[in-house]
Amino acid sequence: MNKILILILFPLFVFSQNIKGKITDANQQPIEGASVYLDGTTIGTVSDADGLFEITSKSKFNTLLIVKFMGYEDIYVSNPYEKSFFTFVLVPKQNEIETVLVVKDGFTRKQKLQLFREQFLGVTKYGKACKILNEDAIDFNYDLETFTFTASCPEPIKVENPLLGYVIDFDLQDFYVKFNFKTIKSINAIQSLFLGTVKYTETKIDEKIIKNRNDVYFGSAVDFFKGIIDNSWSEKKFILYEGRFPVLANDYFKVLKKDDLYEVTVTSTNKVSFSIGGIKKTNFYADFNLLYRKKRQSRVIFKTETFFVDSSGNNSHKDQIVFGGDIGQQKAGNTLPLDFEPEILEKEVEKDK
């Protein structure tokens, strides 16, 4: 007997959001087959023979609308919902000859690939299970003066994530890992960052994958921000600590609904400098510890006083909100689409009672 019972935990808006438009070249000729999608989601389509497209989402997301077509410059729209109909004119890419400067830094490509996988995909079981399908396209550089490792790729990095049932196309815009001395081991990294746009394509869905997706979602950064705007703090979820002492989250996060977004203002009474990798920092607004389900420990540092969160838990200012501990270990291999809706299996409900 199949005991799977699916429950939607977080209801979305009851109306759909339609994004329509037409894509042409400079001669007003329609372009067929251009990819149009919402960044960080599975929501997208391709333009038809008349250059027309239409995508529908159940909710408004705080993300970009992206248009891509081989041989043409990409288009990014910061507010996909600002118009009822878009007209995009694609511009051909300029032919650029890339110059690759080979500098002897003492590290092999195998070592660099290992560091990249660890810092991009992560070292969790989900990150380790991922496979980069076009590794040969990725270029690496190690600056011996600043001990900074960087990576770039002229095409989207294609990642197969079998445990979560997705293929990810990640357009890497920035990636670096910083050290205090010449080394290429992740354990010695003092700071790392990767930014870019991403498209998710679902490849498989079954009970095991649903369980894995739930495991990744609950206790993640998205779940944390969702808890802030929903005010859903409890011992079975996140407990907020300032230093070693548990505190009331409502005293530190002020949430104001603004149209389709939530404006969050964060405060703290603990205005002291902190240290990451031996480097002291003072330009921050708040520093908290988090405990999820009494066992998973994280740290979150806000270098911005105000940020925005959409109804799905996606936050702005990603480069100014830094996580350590459990959440800090969750990299690209632990990510889910913004349109992911957590489901729960019946046996998980019984376990949680």
Confirm whether 3 is domain-assigned.
no
**Residues β-bridged to residue 140:** 151
215 with 247, same domain? no
The bridge status of strand 86-89 relative to strand 17-24 is: parallel
215 with 225, same domain? no
CA distance linking residue 88 with residue 85, whole number of Å: 10
Query: Tell me: the pLDDT tens digits for 249-258?
Result: 989 999 999 8
107 with 214, same domain? yes
Query: Tell me: the pLDDT tens digits for 288-298?
Result: 999 999 889 99
pLDDT band at 234 (very low <50, low <70, confident <90, very high): confident
Contact at 8 Å (CB) between 342 and 9? Answer: yes
Range of the domain at 113: 99-220+330-353
Is the pLDDT reported for residue 273 higher than 70?
Answer: no
204 with 234, same domain? no
How many structural domains does the chain have? 3
pLDDT band at 349 (very low <50, low <70, confident <90, very high): very low
Of 64, 89, 114, which residue is a domain's last? Answer: 89
Query: Can you give the pLDDT at residue 264?
Result: 95
Mean pLDDT calculated for residue range 118-137: 97
Confirm whether 11 is domain-assigned.
no
Return the percent helix, strand and coil in the chain, to nearest 5.
Answer: 20, 35, 45
214 with 341, same domain? yes
| E strands, 71-156, in order | 75-77, 86-89, 131-132, 139-143, 148-152
CA distance linking residue 53 with residue 171, whole number of Å: 22
Torsion sign over Cα 240, 243, 244, 245: negative
Of 70, 89, 108, which residue is a domain's last? Answer: 89
341 with 200, same domain? yes
226 with 182, same domain? no
CB-CB neighbours of 197 under 10 Å: 20
